[in-house]
Amino acid sequence: MLVLFGSETPMPTPTMTVDPDSVTPGFAGFAAIVIVLIAVVLLIWDMNRRIRKVRYREEVREELDAEEAAARESGAGTAQREPDSDAEADEGDRKP
């Protein structure tokens, strides 16, 4: 059977030709990773703050819409309507 497949060729074992201490990242690599880590943490913190702010604004907007709808149902919303400031200025100019 070995005659059909040929003889096995031995695999050479690799030898280290480079000093393992000279290929490590050292302090510069460690400092770069720490800076990237700090930047990522700060970006995540800022993103969470912005998302929380948007979520709170949406909750307040929903509450205001619900109050406005309740006021419309009771009919009190139309009686307390404030005029535009531009319209007031125009009316003030026309009065004698």
In tens, the pLDDT along 14-33 reads 777 877 777 778 899 999 99
Confidence of residue 86 (pLDDT cuts 50, 70, 90): low
In tens, the pLDDT along 56-66 reads 999 999 999 99
DSSP assignment string, 16-69: --S-GGGGS-HHHHHHHHHHHHHHHHHHHHHHHHHHHHHHHHHHHHHHHHHHHH
Give CA–CA dist 10/5, Å, rounded.
Answer: 15
pTM for the complete prediction? 0.46
